[in-house]
Amino acid sequence: MPLAIDTRSTAYLQGQTLGLAVVLAVGIVVVRVLTRRWRNPVALAPEDLPRVTALRKKRRILLALATVVICALFTTKFVLDVRSETPYGSAAATGPTDRTVDAPDTVAGYHLITGEAAARLAAKTKSGTSEHFWFYSKAPGGTQPSVVFSASTAAWDPKEAAEKSEHSLEWLFVNFFAGAEVEDAKDVDPGPLGGLMRCGRTQSGNLVICHWEDAGTAGTVMTAGAVDIQQASTLALQFRNAAEH
């Protein structure tokens, strides 16, 4: 299953390094076998020996140079991949892991729904995980949510802590948006808290979902209606900056 393979993990990187070394080693052996006669021309007469000796030396130098160039090209590609925008290694290694998340009372004109209305909404969203859900209404004292904000931290959930230790941020995002049925998630500004944030529209088109991941927390802001990605990302960033400390 493709989602089970973390192509941005340290283990994948180590395996890729080993695989590259094996391919290069096998390739060098094959080339040396196939070019044995070419590298070792035979003098048919004594007077040809100086010329053949010089030719043998020249061909060996050319083959050595070609091998060095090929190795350099493979190494350059590998280094560029390592230095790509999405880091290799575990998500837990990308920043502080001791941040907390608290639901703010108001964010960008949205008001936290409390009391029995909040309890009823929370009962409908039980996920069997430690993820916390909060619901926000556009009107003070409202009971119908316009925005749903959820978050979790590694401190709340040992399973999440293990995933952040074992997998990369990229892997976490791929699996999250696959589950949310969002195919076109785009990178947006994660703000001063760092990590990564992406937003996308669900396949049904009814919701825009923005999700962030950092070393110790994860958060999601879901908005309904005709809101565009830019508006949703701005709102998600406001929620994150207000909630994560």
- Which pLDDT does position 7 carry in this prediction? 52
Q: Which residue range is the domain that position 45 belongs to?
A: 2-82
224 and 204 fall within a common domain: yes
Q: Would the pTM count as exceeding 0.85?
A: no
Walking along the chain (245 residues) 10 residues at a time, the average pLDDT comes out as 49 55 77 85 82 87 87 75 59 84 92 92 75 90 90 87 85 86 88 92 84 92 83 94 93
Backbone torsions φ then ψ of 52, nearest 5 degrees: -65, -40
**DSSP 3-state assignment of 14?**
helix
168 and 148 fall within a common domain: yes
Cβ pair 222, 209 in contact under 8 A: yes
- Which pLDDT does position 2 carry in this prediction? 44
Domain boundary among 48, 82, 116: 82
137 and 24 fall within a common domain: no
- Which pLDDT does position 1 carry in this prediction? 37
Cβ pair 209, 202 in contact under 8 A: yes
